[in-house]
Structure 1
Amino acid sequence: MSGSGGLRQLLRGDCHVHTDWSDGGDPLEAMVAAAAAQGHDYVVLTDHSPRLTIAHGLSPQRLRRQLDAVGAVNEALAGTGFRVLTGIEVDILPDGSLDQEPELLALLDVVVGSVHSELRMEKAKMTRRLLAALAHPHLDILGHCTGRKLPVATDARHAARGGTLRRRAPSSFDVDAVFAAAARHDKAIEINSRPDRLDPPSNLLRKAAKVAGLRFAINTDAHAVAQLDWLGNGCARAEAAGLTADRIVNTLPADELLDWTRTHQA
């Protein structure tokens, strides 16, 4: 899948990227250099939160050290026109709370919240979980909202064990209520560009596109340098759903993106 339309050319950054601080395969500096080479203005660093121990999620202490590392990288980038924005992919816990200290979340530029556990939760409970997360003042983007996985190899390691790849069905929740809440709180729904996610599924993406005022973020969820090219997948899906650039938050310049995220804590 590729995004050859105009939307790809209008993206100013990627709001969901991992490094080897958590479960990414490449260091911060390499991911930043590759993101800058895409012609973008910014990249948002969103390594995992503590509860996701399998992904080496960042404790509060490690996240503080990462913020210092990002500051050093931005000092080195001064004058280039490119910047690294601070962020996290924070786990949405079963009660809808976010898996990181609120004081730390308040310091971050962009917070992506995603469900990584109890994905088979009963529909009404999952709905309440997502609604609580969307109402949280520190959450900006709801990541890969259904949690589905497709049996697609995304790198050489996955290809080598291709016979063991499995499909994971999407979680069940009241999509009308969740999308309406996202619009009401002015939060964005992620269009995840990973070939093994492509989340939300096309039928839900078309439904979401019809919700007045609902914003979206087209992200790679990249865990390696080569995966930063996946944005075209999300752009093609957004265009197929009829979405226009004014509804995509990462078509905004960095300062305007930050103006938007700050409204959630106001």
Structure 2
Amino acid sequence: MEALRRIAFLLERAHEPTYRVRAFRNAADLAGRTPRDELAERARRGTLTELPGIGKVTALVIEEALRGETPVYLRRLEATEGAPLDEAAAALRRALRGDLHTHSDWSDGGASIREMAETARDLGHDYIALTDHSPRLTVANGLSAERLRRQLDAVAELSAELAPFRVLTGIEVDILEDGSLDQDPELLDRLDVVVASVHSKLRMDRAAMTRRMVAAVRDPRVNVLGHCTGRIVKGGGRRGGVRPESQFDAALVFDACAAYDVAVEINSRPERLDPPKRLLRLAVEAGCRFAIDSDAHAPGQLDWQPNGCDRAARCGVAPEQVVNTMSADDLLAWARGGS
């Protein structure tokens, strides 16, 4: 039955657990093999759940579809996170010129720089920033200063080959406990885009975490504050499990971002969706700029940006507030403090 398959598709797109998707696909297969008259009779008598693989939720979907209605479950998905983008979100996606947070197999990504770049180009981007991890994140094969220098040469060569598409040099640099950055300052000065993120000591007390984040935001080399709460909202991510938000004074951190012109990242990974909407709205009120990023670790994940566009639209973020709606030249001027 088409409604069941559509629900499964939207759940897959939303990165929902496999068991939930399978329940709808199995129900769709069974409904497709069952004569419509039998389904209608069972719906009338309330016995759909006697069929193997049909539960209360899928039975209700079938009943509503048989009545010619759009099932409530499907309507809810299409009105929230799994929805086709509304016009405001679609406009944001059309306005995006690039992606400022991506990873390759030089750190913990699953594909070469070339494959990531060519995929981004094929998705309609003008540029992509390669932001592999910094050295202290050993679990992610973070780049030493020497490896980063070699990567800069590789990126320059590839970017020249793919022109006019541009591969921007970058890093996702760890914010250390004292707010300093986990890479040589001389190297950070050479990069096009610096995304700064907290990856360790996520349970620091609120005051210490606030000081840590504000110190990083004040560093003139930082352009984007990555996944600010560090939360993991559902399993299925690269390391599984869930993780609560770090505690910090969001008003102070976002005021610092606005004051020092550091973009707040709207992270589009389905298991992150960071910041939460209440904090995203607070950042809008603070007058922050934003970067809608995929945080992709594989080519297919580059197409996760609509997740961030949807959340941004729901929280009142306008295209002109998003730094990666700029052309590459304008973006670089901004990143270097020229706008």
Range class of TM-score, shorter chain: over 0.9
TM normalised by structure 2 equals: 0.73
Paired AA for residue 203 in structure 2 = R
- How big is the shift at 1:221? 0.2
CA distance in 2, matches of 1:40, 1:28: 15
Higher helix residue share: 2
Q: How does 1:25-64 map to 2 (within 5 A)?
A: 25-64=110-149
Specify every segment of 5 or more residues in structure 1 that has no aligned partner in the other structure, as ranges. Answer: 159-163
TM normalised by structure 1 equals: 0.93
Residue 333 of structure 2, aligned match among 235, 248, 259: 259
Q: How does 1:1-266 map to 2 (within 5 A)?
A: 1=81, 3-4=85-86, 5-78=90-163, 81-154=164-237, 165-212=240-287, 214-263=288-337
CA distance in 1, matches of 2:256, 2:110: 35
CA distance in 2, matches of 1:150, 1:180: 25
CA distance in 2, matches of 1:72, 1:257: 21
- How big is the shift at 1:137? 1.0
Task: Find the structure with the greater CA-based Rg.
Answer: 2
> Contact 1:148–1:171 at 8 Å: present in 2 too?
yes
- How big is the shift at 1:165? 3.6
- How big is the shift at 1:206? 1.2
Q: CA RMSD in A?
A: 1.4
| Greater RCO (Cα-Cα under 8 Å, separation 6 or more) | 1
Identity %: 57
CA distance in 1, matches of 2:236, 2:111: 18
> Contact 1:10–1:245 at 8 Å: present in 2 too?
yes
CA distance in 2, matches of 1:34, 1:23: 18
Secondary structure (helix, strand or coil) at the match of 2:106 reads coil
Query: Does the C-alpha gap of structure 1 residues 165 and 58 become closer, same or farther in structure 2, counting only changes over 3 Å?
Result: closer
CA distance in 1, matches of 2:195, 2:171: 6
- How big is the shift at 1:152? 3.6
CA distance in 1, matches of 2:283, 2:156: 36
CA distance in 1, matches of 2:100, 2:160: 20
Cα distance per residue 1:52-84 (max 9 Å; x no partner) = 000000000000000000011012113xx2110
Specify every segment of 5 or more residues in structure 2 that has no aligned partner in the other structure, as ranges. Answer: 1-80
CA distance in 2, matches of 1:216, 1:228: 18
Partner of 1:161: none
CA distance in 2, matches of 1:74, 1:12: 16
> Contact 1:48–1:88 at 8 Å: present in 2 too?
yes
- How big is the shift at 1:151? 1.6
- How big is the shift at 1:173? 0.2
CA distance in 1, matches of 2:159, 2:217: 30
Paired AA for residue 331 in structure 2 = L
Of 69-78 and 217-226, deviating more is: 69-78
